[in-house]
């Protein structure tokens, strides 16, 4: 029998090797590195962008960002000025949770500009918009329904189906402004408003070809967004370590991420102008990302996706609310992993969920669904959507019915 949850892009030869390892009684696995050639830090964003553009020989550079950064700060104008005649246009209509219409609008804007490189400036919203737009550009998609053919979806046998995605006609480089770590994955989320579900899309070259970490540009990021996306990255690290198919590389980077976050998130709150603290947080987010789509996550991510699609909650807030509850739910299946998490968070009692909860509390972030305006009347829709999520299906403690998700939501209310 072939092992479940194997990425369907794995070759038959690799599957044979994994089966051989399993039959021999040893652990088996595979780690696929991103199609990402560099991460740059210590330089102003505009300067680093120009160097990357020149290195890549791009002549028509298109900027994708959000309205606030573009219209209320000088962050984008500095990059435009640095690009000079190479600037081919700007799209700033990215929308939270990345609805299909905004993705297709971005793709059309890039197409119309004849761009040969995208510079994405922002957090997960802008980055995911471009990821899914690149899928649309690769396959000439122009209508929301056409995206159905390319969404990642769970299989009845517990595995995951990844549709084949062609290489897009251009790449993106990312100047990140949050700690969501979206820039360090080739997996993007996109909401189908008609179904009320957030779908995933993956392609080897839809993620960032290069990432620029400039702590100064993050001074424009609202405090709540900065800190809550930090907890989102903590969620990446925790669910990587607790994965039912762990990786030694992912464990190492995730544990270091937690240690860095324990020290740097509070410092960035207490002293917002401390650029080193902000850069340490950005490095921690990078370290937290090595598990994204490389090991199966769990129900905190999966329920969070559904909460976002159904209620509009931000991803950071969903992690603040759901992660400690999911950790306690999974404890009987992940006790050893959670003990290591507790140590990384500075606790000697092994209570990792309490460690995460205390970190969230120390940052003044929400811990209850009621605190962010989610009513119990929405729980049924959230549970229904979550059951279709690949990470709920991959949770270390099997979840087999919507009632189990509803119980978690009730505990978090």
Domains of the chain plus CATH, in order, are: 38-217 (3.40.50.1970), 223-412 (1.20.1090.10)
The pLDDT mean for the chain works out to 93
> How do residues 359-404 score in pLDDT, each as one tens digit?
999 999 999 999 999 999 999 999 999 999 999 999 999 999 999 9
pLDDT band, very low/low/confident/very high, at 5 (cuts 50, 70, 90) = very low
> How do residues 38-72 score in pLDDT, each as one tens digit?
999 989 999 999 999 999 999 999 999 999 999 99
Residue 198's pLDDT is 87
Strands 197-202, 187-192: pairing is antiparallel
Residue 18's pLDDT is 55
- How long a stretch of residues is the chain? 413
> How do residues 120-167 score in pLDDT, each as one tens digit?
999 999 999 999 999 999 999 999 999 999 999 888 777 789 999 999
Global pTM?
Answer: 0.91
Strands 153-154, 160-161: pairing is antiparallel
Q: For residues 357 and 376, is the Cβ–Cβ distance under 8 A?
A: no
> How do residues 228-271 score in pLDDT, each as one tens digit?
999 999 999 999 999 999 999 999 999 999 999 999 999 999 99
270-299 mean pLDDT: 97
> How do residues 73-117 score in pLDDT, each as one tens digit?
999 999 999 999 999 999 999 998 899 999 999 999 999 999 999
């Amino acid at each position: 029998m072939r092992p479940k949850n194997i990425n369907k892009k794995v070759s038959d030869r690799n599957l044979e090797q994994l089966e051989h390892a399993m039959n021999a009684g040893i652990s088996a696995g595979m780690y696929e590195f991103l199609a990402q050639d560099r991460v740059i830090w210590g330089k102003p964003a505009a300067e680093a962008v120009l160097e990357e553009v020149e290195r890549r020989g791009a002549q028509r550079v298109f900027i994708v960002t959000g309205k606030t950064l573009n219209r209320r700060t000088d962050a984008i104008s500095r990059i435009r000025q640095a690009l000079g005649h190479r600037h081919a246009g700007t799209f700033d209509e990215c929308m939270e949770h990345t609805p299909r219409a905004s993705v297709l609008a971005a793709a059309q804007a890039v197409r119309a500009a004849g761009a040969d490189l995208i510079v994405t400036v922002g957090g997960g919203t802008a980055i995911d918009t471009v990821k899914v737009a690149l899928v649309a550009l690769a396959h000439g998609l122009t209508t929301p329904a056409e995206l159905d053919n390319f969404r990642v979806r769970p299989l009845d046998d517990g595995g995951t189906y990844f549709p084949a995605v062609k290489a897009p006609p251009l790449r993106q480089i990312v100047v990140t402004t949050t700690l969501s770590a979206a820039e360090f994955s080739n997996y993007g989320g996109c909401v189908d408003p008609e179904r009320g579900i957030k779908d995933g899309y993956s392609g080897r070259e839809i993620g960032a070809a290069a990432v620029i970490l400039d702590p100064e540009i993050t001074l424009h990021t609202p405090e709540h967004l900065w800190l809550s996306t930090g907890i989102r990255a903590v969620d990446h690290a925790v669910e990587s370590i607790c994965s039912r198919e762990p990786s030694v590389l992912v464990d190492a980077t995730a544990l270091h991420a937690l240690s860095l976050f324990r020290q740097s998130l509070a410092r960035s709150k207490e002293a917002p102008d401390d650029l080193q603290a902000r850069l340490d947080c950005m490095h921690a987010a990078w370290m937290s990302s090595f598990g994204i789509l490389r090991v199966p996550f769990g129900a905190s991510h999966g329920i969070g996706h559904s909460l976002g699609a159904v209620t509009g909650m931000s991803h950071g807030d969903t992690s603040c609310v759901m992660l400690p509850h999911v950790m306690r739910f999974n404890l009987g299946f992940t006790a050893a992993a959670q003990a290591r998490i507790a140590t990384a968070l500075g606790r000697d009692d092994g209570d990792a969920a309490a460690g995460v909860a205390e970190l969230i509390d120390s940052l003044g972030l929400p811990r209850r669904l009621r605190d962010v305006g989610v009513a119990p009347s929405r729980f049924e829709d959230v549970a229904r959507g979550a059951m279709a999520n690949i990470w709920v299906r991959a949770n270390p403690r099997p979840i087999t019915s919507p009632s189990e998700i509803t119980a978690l939501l009730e505990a978090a209310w």
